[in-house]
Structure 1
Amino acid sequence: MYWCRAHVLVCTANHCSQKGAQQVAARLRLELKRAGLDAEIMVNTCDSIDLCDIGPNIVVYPQGWIYRNVQVGDLPEVIESLRHGQHPVERLVLRPDSEDERRRRALYHAAVAQEPLAVTAFAALAERYGFDEAWVAEQARRGFIARKPGDDGDRITVTSKARHRYGLPDAT
């Protein structure tokens, strides 16, 4: 990283790109340049930050802010926040106690209590917590769940990555 005051990562993985992440990244760069902040604040795109269902996502370092569902219309507030670097745009910030994270944590706690789950049972559990099949597929692709063959069909288990992130017990 070049020496700068802040480094902004804009997720442009598949789900975020489908929701406009490329436009967010391009406009953010342009508006920072117009504001004379492009030498102080570096913007890069990145692959997934594992929050695919709530993107486009932005991570701001060194502050450690994670913004979710960022749209081009949010950028004036984001830029003002970056200009001063002291306070995030609260309505966009993802925190461990945010509703999005509470639902994920609850889903994974329920899954661990029942695992290994049949693929259809995991999909039904995910749906009860508001997550669709695309989310389930993305969780597998990102290594939060694993699909393993069983005697009576494939089973889903929660990986150590998800267990660590959501404070779940290790697999026995």
Structure 2
Amino acid sequence: MATWDLEKTRAHIMICNGASCLRKHGEEVTIAIRKVLKEQALDDYIHTTRTRCNGRCKDASTVIVYPEGTWYQNILPEDAEKLVNAINRGEQLKEKVSHTFRGSGFDRYNDAPIGILKSEKAQKSPS
């Protein structure tokens, strides 16, 4: 196993590979983003992590970018180059943004589903 040197890292892309996202091309999105990063020699500057479910299944395939805290929805493999280019410029791929962190919570965009609070789900679940 490798231990990456993250000193030059400017962005971290988390790519959901939970069940819903996998059904909506999550694996292919992961491969496409990593391919673009390699082709553009950005591996040292933009780090990727394949995750399990991020809890936004209706947004599948979901991609999250930090440090700015932008959540993307409905990402397809063909979006990889535009997404990576936007991230590299310090911008957002605005048409795919679902939520952006604003210090005290998230702003919702592009008619992203509202969803339910975790506490509401816990109240509905049998003990």
State the partner residue of 1:147.
125
State the partner residue of 2:38.
33
Q: Of residues 73, 76, 84 in structure 2, which corresponds to 1:79? A: 84
Looking at secondary structure, tell me which structure has more strand per residue: 2
Q: 1:20 to 1:147 in 2, by over 3 A?
A: same
CA shift, 1:84, in A, is 1.0
Relative contact order higher in (CA < 8 Å, ≥ 6 apart): 2
Task: Give the paired residue count.
Answer: 112
| Unpaired segments ≥5 residues, structure 2 | 100-106
Q: 1:23 to 1:39 in 2, by over 3 A?
A: same
How far apart, CA to CA, are the structure 2 residues paired with 1:93 and 1:144? 25
How far apart, CA to CA, are the structure 2 residues paired with 1:143 and 1:21? 27
- Describe the SS at the equivalent of 1:53: helix
How far apart, CA to CA, are the structure 1 residues paired with 2:12 and 2:27? 17
CA shift, 1:82, in A, is 1.6
Conserved in 1, the CA contact under 8 Å of 2:59 and 2:113?
no
Describe how 1:88-103 pairs up with structure 2 within 5 A.
88-95=92-99, 96-98=107-109, 99-102=111-114
Structure possessing the higher radius of gyration over alpha carbons: 1
What is the identity percentage for the equivalent residue pairs of Structure 1 and Structure 2?
Answer: 21
- Describe the SS at the equivalent of 2:125: strand
| Unpaired segments ≥5 residues, structure 1 | 109-141, 150-172
Describe how 1:116-155 pairs up with structure 2 within 5 A.
145=121, 146-148=124-126
Looking at secondary structure, tell me which structure has more helix per residue: 1
2:30 aligned with 1:21, yes or no?
no
Structure 1 runs of 4+ off > 4 angstroms?
A: none
How far apart, CA to CA, are the structure 1 residues paired with 2:70 and 2:84? 13
CA shift, 1:143, in A, is 7.4
State the partner residue of 1:111.
none
CA shift, 1:147, in A, is 2.4
Q: 1:13 to 1:36 in 2, by over 3 A?
A: same
State the partner residue of 1:9.
14
For the aligned residue pairs, the C-alpha RMSD in angstroms reads 2.1
State the partner residue of 1:127.
none
- The one-character-per-residue Cα deviations of 1:43-97 (angstroms, maximum 9, x if unpaired) are 1101111101111101101111111110011112101112111x20100001333
Q: Which amino acid aligns with 1:79?
A: V
